[in-house]
Amino acid sequence: MNLEEYKGVYIFAEQVDGKVSNIAYELIGEAKNLAEALKTDVTAVLIGSGVKGEAEKLGAYGADRVILVDDPALKEYRTEPYTHALAEVINKYKPEIVLIGATPIGRDLGPSTSARVATGLTADCTKLEIGDFPLTVPAGKEDTQKHNQLLMTRPAFGGNTIATIACPNNRPQMATVRPGVMQKRAKEDGRKFELVEFNPGFTPNKRYVEILEVVKKISDTVDIMNAKILVSGGRGVGSAENFKILDELAEVLGGEVSCSRAVVDAGWKPQALQVGQTGKTVRPQLYFAIGISGAIQHLAGMEDSDLIIAINKDEDAPIFDVADIGIVGDLNQIVPALTKQIANYLA
Ligand code: FAD
């Protein structure tokens, strides 16, 4: 494999029901940072049926080029035709880096594609950067560092450590990236980009799954990843009923309630509201951590919030290490008093 042949940062522009998902714009934002470091450009790969109209939005968020694979075989997501489409794009255009969202679709498509093109993939990354690999050269050893590598960082061993992984001997370097972690760029309507239509050729085979029916379930929980204000409760809240005081605070602030895993494990709240390594990654403008100790797996999902206010009766709780404002005391007294003060102020 001639690594020099592989150029450009590519992202898989996931779409559902013909509409590009937010993760695609987040990936373009991060791909732009990597492309600037590598002095190259960003390509979005849009795969689907009747999705050409979405290409413009990818351009507006920063894609320099959109490769469109549009075919009736790609109407709904299925592993085999999507893997074929993305693998053929990689074989033809030879990207240096390919980023895919760590969504249910991406977690299926990423590894099947990396296996098809015989390269490595780092799953569920929370940080990406361009740098040297190995990261350091031990004193007295020969310098065998490779430069301009994609350094892919993700939590490992149950979140107890952070691993930085590279793929120095194969191309492309592939990663799935957690939704909500990377930041999209400002939309620039009418921004110029190149549109390339690519047909990898589809021959239906026996391995194709046939979709008989799509049953959609409407979730009755809010999407905490889009909330600007989150009032998050932990085991310290004490019971499902006592979450009422957090509901009231969220209501006066126009925010949403979320929680730690201990709360989900206790059956007080659904998993969709869990923040953290095995929950959602959030980045609200304001995050209240109420009765949450601040375990590393929880911090992994919220530490990039703009402003963190922690309320905990234990002044040594690790949550105070990441909090901008810390209030030590009983949440049963502090939260209702705070709600009352804010309600009075806003009245
Ligand atoms: P606790 O750690 O029990 O903390 C409760 C806090 O409430 C304490 O600090 C206490 O001082 C305070 N408190 C109690 N009463 C009051 C009161 N009246 N007033 C004020 N403060 C009070 N956790 C997550 O949250 N998200 C994840 O995604 C996640 N993923 C995980 C993945 C793995 C592989 C593993 C091993 C663990 C994961 N965890 C996750 C669990 C994590 O390690 C912690 O166990 C969990 O976050 C603890 O939740 P908590 O802070 O609500 O509870």
Each residue's pLDDT tens digit, 109-155: 999 999 999 999 999 999 999 999 988 888 888 888 899 999 999 98
pLDDT band at 338 (very low <50, low <70, confident <90, very high): very high
Q: How many angstroms separate the CA atoms of 68 and 38, rounded?
A: 24
Q: What is the pTM of this model?
A: 0.79
Q: How many CB atoms lie within 10 A of CB 197?
A: 11
State mean pLDDT over 69-96: 96
The DSSP code for 275 is: B
Q: What is the pLDDT of residue 337?
A: 97
Atom of ligand 1 nearest to the CA of 276: 28
Burial 161-194 (b: 16+ CB within 10 A, else e): eeebbbbbeebbbbbbbbbbbbebeeeeeeeebe
Best residue among 160, 231, 312 to mutate for probing ligand 1's pocket (most ligand atoms within 8 Å of CB) is 312
> Do the beta carbons of residue 340 and residue 253 sit within 8 Å?
no
Lowest mean pLDDT: which of 19-33, 184-198, 213-227, 323-337?
A: 213-227
Q: How many angstroms separate the CA atoms of 288 and 249, rounded?
A: 10
312 C-beta closer than 6 A to ligand 1: yes
Atom of ligand 1 nearest to the CA of 235: 52
State mean pLDDT over 163-181: 95
Best residue among 162, 237, 242, 278 to mutate for probing ligand 1's pocket (most ligand atoms within 8 Å of CB) is 278
H helix intervals, 21-127 = 22-38, 55-60, 79-93, 104-116
State mean pLDDT over 93-121: 97
242 C-beta closer than 6 A to ligand 1: no
> Do the beta carbons of residue 288 and residue 309 sit within 8 Å?
yes
pLDDT band at 159 (very low <50, low <70, confident <90, very high): low
Is the complex ipTM higher than 0.90? yes
> Do the beta carbons of residue 51 and residue 18 sit within 8 Å?
yes
Q: What is the pLDDT of residue 158?
A: 66
Share of the chain above pLDDT 90, in %: 85
295 C-beta closer than 6 A to ligand 1: yes
Residue 55 has pLDDT above 90, yes or no: yes
pLDDT band at 194 (very low <50, low <70, confident <90, very high): very high
pLDDT band at 347 (very low <50, low <70, confident <90, very high): confident
Chain mean pLDDT for the chain: 94
188 C-beta closer than 6 A to ligand 1: no
State mean pLDDT over 74-86: 95
